[in-house]
Amino acid sequence: ATQQQQSAIKGAKVLMVGAGGIGCELLKTLALSGFEDIHIIDMDTIEVSNLNRQFLFRRSHVGQSKAKVARDAVLRFRPNINIRSYHANVKNPEFDVDFFKQFDVVLNGLDNLDARRHVNRLCLAADVPLVESGTTGFLGQVTVHIKGKTECYECQTKPAPKTYPVCTITSTPTKFVHCIVWAKDLLFAKLFGDKNQDNDLNVRSNNSASSSKETEDVFERSEDEDIEQYGRKIYDHVFGSNIEAALSNEETWKNRRRPRPIYSKDVLPESLTQQNGSTQNCSVTDGDLMVSAMPSLGLKNPQELWGLTQNSLVFIEALKLFFAKRKKEIGHLTFDKDDQLAVEFVTAAANIRAESFGIPLHSLFEAKGIAGNIVHAVATTNAIIAGLIVIEAIKVLKKDVDKFRMTYCLEHPSKKLLLMPIEPYEPNPACYVCSETPLVLEINTRKSKLRDLVDKIVKTKLGMNLPLIMHGNSLLYEVGDDLDDIMVANYNANLEKYLSELPSPILNGSILTVEDLQQELSCKINVKHRFFSEILNPVLNSVWFLIILPSTFPKLFHFTESRNQDGLSLDIILGFSNVTIRRVLTMFETGRRLTHPLLILFCHREEFDEEKEPEGMVLSGWTPSPATNGESASTSNNENPVDVTESSSGSEPASKKRRLSETEASNHKKETENVESEDDDIMEVENPMMVSKKKIRVE
Amino acid sequence: MSNPQDDKPIDQEQEAHVILKVKSQDGDEVLFKNKKSAPLKKLMYVYCDRRGLKLDAFAFIFNGARIGGLETPDELDMEDGDVIDACRAMSGGLRANQRQWSYMLFDHNGL
């Protein structure tokens, strides 16, 4: 067996994508395991910060190509093997399907989702096995992807960091990180960032509608207003009255610790003017990033924990310094972890908020780590992962399909093991990349331009590099080098047109073919026009009851059906949720007759919610979730997604909402067999992560 | 919060449920009580929910195999105290502009 293994390794031609943390370890392990033909692609150059863990590089190499230096370093102890390096982006057109076809296996050591998706598609198109990997801190994993045998990289959605549950940040923080996010992304952005950007800083309370006008103005500083006064006003607003406003919402605090409003007069001396002098003469440095509030307050150690008063002083002082020293930048500042003053301000603000909510305080150093999302890379993890990649690669070369494993690294042992091997999964039949399942795009075809479709969906969500869009036989859009000017002008003109006004109009029910020739990926998109009638607006935005009498039921259906041909979708007209309409349709199709009046409660929102669906379009099917049933699928389509908070009371309205849209009269429930009784299947016994230890029943 | 099981005899309730431990890669443990005949998707959903992550952010692993949402504790022969491991795929890379998962909070729109 070993001889067979040796010959498999010797004869193999492998492609490594990425020569960074994993890549260095991988290349070394491959070379020492006997691989003799290795190609490396990496577009990066070596930086000083790489040197602590990417052992093939030395200080003298800083600035040079990673792929090339790694090759040279390995050739020094394995001079007789063939290594080829490419200092290029793997997404470049030269790395096409034919390029990938020459390899027996592709090994990924990448650092971003985009490139991983691209490589995955090329491997699928070229039918080359892919061994995928990734690490962060102590954690990591290795997976094997072989077309038709195991799932592809995109069969499971990969969580892309985006935003956060807004209500946890704005009103119910339970961890220090929530306070940091609040201070960094809300407060800091509000005070020093783009004023025009929407901001959830103000706590939503019951009477927010009435108070929203005046709260807007708190953050405006009039020309002659004293900075300290302004700082105190902000302080009192965000840590005092905002908290108090939130407290008035009793429902929120039933199962939570109530926060304590903090006002500046309680923690700070009446006037800080004596320190004004120091403000003037401190920080005579010229660099903006060097301005600091700490020296004037006598704070030196960034690892020291500040108390409430110190934090409050830093808050006011940092705010003052921003206005005194960096006034020009205000309005377009974004948080940067290397910006000392910004870090001080965010640390102080987060700590004051943490104090208010009874969350343990953190030092500047810790806060900086959290705010900058710094997770330290661990060289050992990379080495372990690289070893696992080689083990899997050898299995792939020996075609030991049954022995493939995907392995996760654990930080704490499970069954005394730190590695957890799992049998690879079957391909997901609903995956749009490796199967032919069409996607569904809900979009307002009269208000969206082709450019929106290309930018927001095809490039961003589908991750296509050189897309081509076809509707029927007509080509609507294409990117490539070999296009003539007339075509380019034509496509550019198309980009600015509304979908419904294109040469070949995209309307409700249109089927688009979107292809990427480089990735050899083609998928179909079924377009569903989402129409919003201004007349129906007040009706559809509220909760309504609809009683369907047995005698009107068939007529009702005909009504909706005839309207449907106008290009409106069925559920829009009556404000049904998808689930309800599906059930009604099933009843109709199976020839069931209503024997009792049917009561439908619905709350419906048809227009794209700017907060939840900022792009004004919804693509479904591209992130298939294995564990969803009909209900949750419909949730993503046209109702507010379940508003997740970390406590029972917070999720109450959401669950009510869901019920509303799905509740039918009990007689209906009996008629549809597939309605399962949803109660008490699961119950959370104890949750150490939650503040309230209360038992929570999950709907 | 009311529990509709309350009026049933206790032994029957114990019979019907199994207590499972969901353990994450960093050692966090959460206990769940799940009906033996109920699909595990809800447990998975609630767990992701609590961690502030999308529904399929985690792979739930039991006895070396991933659990599908439709499987039930009965089908998997789960007993009280059994551990389900929740693992996440890491994407690596330590560029300053990239957020790392430990402190990432996620968007719920896809649920």
Q: Residue A395: which H helix or E strand, with range?
A: helix A379-398
In a domain, B83, yes or no: yes
| Average confidence (pLDDT) over A433-460 | 81
In a domain, B42, yes or no: yes
Q: DSSP string spanning A242-253?
A: HHHHHHT-GGGG
Q: How confident is the model at residue A292, as a pLDDT?
A: 83
d(CA B35, CA A101): 49
Q: Which residues in chain B are closer than 8 Å to A411, comparing Cβ atoms?
A: 25-27
Q: How confident is the model at residue A13 (pLDDT cuts 50, 70, 90)?
A: very high
* Other residues' Cβ atoms within 10 Å of the Cβ of residue A611: 12
d(CA A475, CA A504): 9
Which tokens sit at A376?
């330290």
Give the CA distances from residue A430 to residues A120, A156, A421, B54, in Å, rounded to whole numbers and listed in that order.
Answer: 16, 10, 25, 18
Q: How confident is the model at residue B93, as a pLDDT?
A: 45
Going by their DSSP bridges, the two strands A439-443 and A521-529 should be labelled as: parallel
Q: How confident is the model at residue A462 (pLDDT cuts 50, 70, 90)?
A: confident
CA trace torsion A454, A459, A461, A462 (10° rounding)? 100
Query: What are A158's strand-pairing partners?
Result: none
Q: How confident is the model at residue B110 (pLDDT cuts 50, 70, 90)?
A: very low
d(CA A501, CA A450): 10
**pLDDT one-digit tens code per residue, A15-56:** 999 998 899 999 999 999 999 999 999 998 888 778 888 999
Q: How confident is the model at residue A520, as a pLDDT?
A: 81
| Average confidence (pLDDT) over A59-85 | 93
Query: What are A86's strand-pairing partners?
Result: A41
Which tokens sit at A649?
């009371």
The answer to whether ipTM exceeds 0.90 is no
How close B9 gets to chain A, by Cα (Å)?
16
Query: What are A507's strand-pairing partners?
Result: none
Q: Residue A649: which H helix or E strand, with range?
A: helix A648-662
Confirm or reject contact between B39 and chain A (CB < 8 A). yes
Q: Confirm if A386 and A25 have CB atoms less than 8 A apart.
A: yes
Annotated catalytic residue: which of A24, A167, A282, A409? A167
d(CA A352, CA A355): 5
Q: Residue A73: which H helix or E strand, with range?
A: helix A66-77
Q: How confident is the model at residue A144 (pLDDT cuts 50, 70, 90)?
A: very high
Q: Domain tally for chain B?
A: 1
**pLDDT one-digit tens code per residue, A192-208:** 887 766 666 665 444 44
Confirm or reject contact between B103 and chain A (CB < 8 A). yes
Which among B2, B5, B27 has CB closest to A411?
B27
Q: How confident is the model at residue A548, as a pLDDT?
A: 54
* Other residues' Cβ atoms within 10 Å of the Cβ of residue A291: 21
In a domain, B94, yes or no: no
Q: Which of A52, A116, A162, A416 to mutate to test the interface with B (most CBs of B within 10 A)?
A: A162
How close A162 gets to chain B, by Cα (Å)?
6
Contact: A136, B26; criterion CB under 8 Å:
no
Helix axes A578-589, A553-564, angle to 10 degrees: 120
| Average confidence (pLDDT) over A301-324 | 88
Question: For the CA atoms of chain A, what is the radius of gyration?
Answer: 30
d(CA B72, CA A181): 38
Which tokens sit at A665?
């009269």
In a domain, B10, yes or no: no
Q: Confirm if A342 and A176 have CB atoms less than 8 A apart.
A: no
Confirm or reject contact between B21 and chain A (CB < 8 A). no
In a domain, B1, yes or no: no
Contact: B50, A110; criterion CB under 8 Å:
no
Q: How confident is the model at residue A383, as a pLDDT?
A: 95
Q: How confident is the model at residue B40, as a pLDDT?
A: 87
Q: Which range of residues forms the domain containing residue B76?
A: 15-89
CA trace torsion B8, B11, B16, B21 (10° rounding)? 120
d(CA A681, CA A679): 6
In a domain, B61, yes or no: yes
Which tokens sit at B65?
């195999």
A529: left (phi over 0), alpha (psi -120 to 50) or beta: beta
Catalytic status, residue A155: no
pLDDT higher than threshold 50 for residue A401 = yes
Confirm or reject contact between B33 and chain A (CB < 8 A). yes
Nearest partner of A137 among A369, A363, A417, A406, judged by Cα: A369
pLDDT higher than threshold 80 for residue A633 = no
In a domain, B52, yes or no: yes
pLDDT higher than threshold 70 for residue A631 = no
Contact: B1, A632; criterion CB under 8 Å:
no
Percent of chain A whose predicted confidence (pLDDT) is above 70: 68
Number of residues in chain B: 111
Mean pLDDT for all residues in chain A = 73
Helix axes A648-662, A630-638, angle to 10 degrees: 100
d(CA A119, CA A95): 10
d(CA A510, CA A453): 14
d(CA A333, CA A358): 30
Q: DSSP string spanning A332-379?
A: S----TT-HHHHHHHHHHHHHHHHHTTPPP--HHHHHHHHTT-----H
Alpha helices in A128-248 (DSSP H): 166-170, 176-181, 189-192, 208-218, 227-235, 242-247
Contact: B91, A612; criterion CB under 8 Å:
no
Angle value at C-alpha A351, between A350 and A352, nearest 5 degrees = 95
Q: How confident is the model at residue A61, as a pLDDT?
A: 92
Confirm or reject contact between B29 and chain A (CB < 8 A). yes
Q: How confident is the model at residue A527, as a pLDDT?
A: 80
d(CA A148, CA A293): 60
**pLDDT one-digit tens code per residue, A333-358:** 878 777 888 889 999 999 999 999 99
Q: Confirm if A632 and A579 have CB atoms less than 8 A apart.
A: no
**pLDDT one-digit tens code per residue, A584-622:** 555 555 555 555 555 554 444 444 444 445 566 777 665
Give the chain A residue nearest B64 (alpha carbons): A422
Count of A–B CB contacts within 8 Å?
235
In a domain, B104, yes or no: no
Q: Residue B59: which H helix or E strand, with range?
A: strand B58-62
Q: Which residue reads 């696992």 in tokens?
A: A388
Contact: B41, A679; criterion CB under 8 Å:
no
Nearest partner of A180 among A338, A322, A343, judged by Cα: A343
d(CA A372, CA A356): 23
**pLDDT one-digit tens code per residue, B18-70:** 888 888 887 778 888 888 888 888 888 888 777 766 666 788 888 888 888 78
Which tokens sit at A461?
């969500």
Max distance between CA atoms of chain B, in angstroms, equals: 57
Q: Which residues in chain A are closer than 8 Å to B64, comparing Cβ atoms?
A: 420-423
Which tokens sit at A509?
């029910």
- pTM as predicted: 0.59
Q: Confirm if A514 and A426 have CB atoms less than 8 A apart.
A: no
Q: How confident is the model at residue A52, as a pLDDT?
A: 84
pLDDT higher than threshold 70 for residue A279 = no
**Eight-class DSSP state of B38:** S
Identify the CATH number of the domain in which residue B60 sits: 3.10.20.90
How close A688 gets to chain B, by Cα (Å)?
7
* Other residues' Cβ atoms within 10 Å of the Cβ of residue A24: 27
pLDDT higher than threshold 50 for residue A695 = no
**pLDDT one-digit tens code per residue, A569-581:** 333 334 444 445 5
Which among A113, A425, A643 has CB closest to B91?
A113
| CB-based burial, A469-482: b 16+ in 10 Å, e otherwise | bbbeeebbbbbeee
- Of A245 and A692, the one with more pLDDT: A245
Q: At residue A234, what are phi and psi to the nearest 5 degrees?
A: -60, -45
**pLDDT one-digit tens code per residue, A83-112:** 999 999 998 888 988 999 999 999 999 887
**Eight-class DSSP state of A528:** E
Q: How confident is the model at residue A22, as a pLDDT?
A: 93
Contact: B64, A110; criterion CB under 8 Å:
no
Contact: B59, A163; criterion CB under 8 Å:
no
Least confident of A3-12, A556-565, A625-634: A625-634
Give the chain B residue nearest A642 (alpha carbons): B111
CA A52 to chain centre: 29
Give the chain A residue nearest B45 (alpha carbons): A627
Question: For the CA atoms of chain B, what is the radius of gyration?
Answer: 16
Q: How confident is the model at residue A669 (pLDDT cuts 50, 70, 90)?
A: very low
Number of residues in chain A: 699
pLDDT higher than threshold 60 for residue B1 = no
